[in-house]
Structure 1
Amino acid sequence: MTNVPFLLLIEDDDAIRTALELSLTRQGHRVATAASGEDGLQMLREQRPDLIVLDVMLPGIDGFEVCRRIRRTDQLPIILLTARSDDIDVVVGLESGADDYVVKPVQGRVLDARIRAVLRRGEREANDSASFGNLVIDRSAMTVTKNGQDLQLTPTELRLLLELSRRPGQALSRQQLLRLVWEHDYLGDSRLVDACVQRLRAKVEDVPSSPTLIRTVRGVGYRLDAPQ
């Protein structure tokens, strides 16, 4: 990523798209825009942004399907724009692979803060590594391998795994993880943690439905264990 983050904003409402483009540009971002999911996917084939801001309610292919299609081949960070904060929109969006969400009407500074928080998740860390069974986390290279094979993780999935790996065997609450990974701790956003854990387990566990690495601690949250 360059010093000036390059964003792809996919939003069909002309007024909202123009206002967000102007606000994000003023906040120091370089912004490309698309008015539909189809146009956004085409632009993604031609250029690579650092992050995608994606409206849920789009004509034709909706934001959920756009997110799913991107996740089939790419781990670019995605922030959803949703008109509702209810469980259906948020959970479907997170299960589709989104890293975070912002509820409309969107304040430019709030969106900018979320964007910068997501982008920080991919920054390099101290020069060390940790092993958990056949899983190796290299904090210097910001890579994770399983049985010697590189795993393709989103920045949010990687940051979540890093935070858990710093405290092996220690249970972290959902609110702790929200502060450490997402940098906010709104009570309703515990769904962010659960959805990300589910996606991460699908990549790191031998049997995701019976996890041996990322364990649920009932009434608390999650911990990372080395398998016995």
Structure 2
Amino acid sequence: MHSILVVDDDPNIRELVGFYLKREGYHFVEAADGKEALEKLEINTIQLAIVDIMMPNMDGYELCEQIRSYYDIPILMLTAKGEITDKEKAYAAGTDDYVIKPFEPQEILFRVKALLRRFQMVNEESIHIGNLVIDRNNYEIDLLGKRLVLPMKEFELLAQFASYPGRTFSREQLIELVWGYDYDGNDRTVDVHVKRLRERFNGDLAGFSIRTIRGLGYKLEE
């Protein structure tokens, strides 16, 4: 049974989301703010966190950064803040998805299932995306039976995108994830590598595309 942590200072929101999660068979854990959420994470095995942004003591942005630093779980932001700058800040903090209040509880369930499915893909040795099979052990790619070997950073960037289809990554996140925190080059190197991947896997043959999300970054779509 997957345990889902819901962090929101509004008890009505926690109760509503918790009701639907429990009805779907998830174990529901709740917290009223970021500090309480970190306490719950220490004593519970959590597979996914649903986090509000505007909360006392510790807001959702800071909580998201804390979770990203210590836990390898997907995060869904649930908030009334819907401006593009708010979304940019949320994705920069490390969220995997973003839902604006008011919301349909059923949509939350759809997104929770999708995030858990993507997270399970990350832990697999082989990633299947479109018509590709990405072998993370041997750093090889199979495209409809044809074996391909990519330069290391292109491979790692593609594997990062393919592990989280539909998730938007900022350039800064991709630099940290693929090139490392100590990389001192220009973040435009991400644009160059994305361009090369698009040239290698263009059209319908690959079964996916890497989209530019204006003002935010990139995401892979099947």
Question: TM-score scaled by structure 1?
Answer: 0.66
Shift of 1:32: 0.5
Structure 1 residue 201 corresponds to structure 2 residue 175? yes
8 A contact 1:215–1:223 mirrored in 2: no
Counterpart Cα distance in 1 of 2:161 and 2:72: 15
- Report the 3-state secondary structure (helix = DSSP H, G, I; strand = E; otherwise coil) of the residue aligned with 2:29: strand
Counterpart Cα distance in 2 of 1:158 and 1:50: 21
Question: What amino acid maps onto 1:86 in structure 2?
Answer: E
8 A contact 1:202–1:208 mirrored in 2: no
2:61 matched residue in structure 1: 64
Counterpart Cα distance in 1 of 2:117 and 2:98: 16
- Report the 3-state secondary structure (helix = DSSP H, G, I; strand = E; otherwise coil) of the residue aligned with 1:101: strand
1:36 matched residue in structure 2: 33
Counterpart Cα distance in 1 of 2:186 and 2:168: 16
Number of positions where the alignment pairs a residue of Structure 1 with one of Structure 2: 176
Shift of 1:67: 0.7
Question: What amino acid maps onto 2:151 in structure 1?
Answer: G
8 A contact 1:8–1:51 mirrored in 2: yes
Shift of 1:210: 4.2
Relative to structure 1, the CA distance from residue 133 to residue 57 in structure 2 (aligned partners, 3 Å threshold; closer, same or farther) is same
Aligned counterparts, 1:19-168, within 5 A: 19-121=16-118, 122-123=120-121, 124=124, 125=127, 128-129=135-136, 130=139, 132-135=150-153, 160-162=161-163
Question: Which portions of structure 1, spanning 4 or more consecutive aligned residues, are displaced by more than 6 angstroms?
Answer: none
2:5 matched residue in structure 1: 8
Relative to structure 1, the CA distance from residue 63 to residue 223 in structure 2 (aligned partners, 3 Å threshold; closer, same or farther) is closer
Counterpart Cα distance in 1 of 2:45 and 2:28: 12
Shift of 1:74: 2.4
Query: Pick from 189, 193, 213: which aligns with 1:211?
Result: 189
Question: What amino acid maps onto 1:199 in structure 2?
Answer: Q
List alignment gaps of at least 5 residues for structure 2.
141-149, 199-210, 213-217
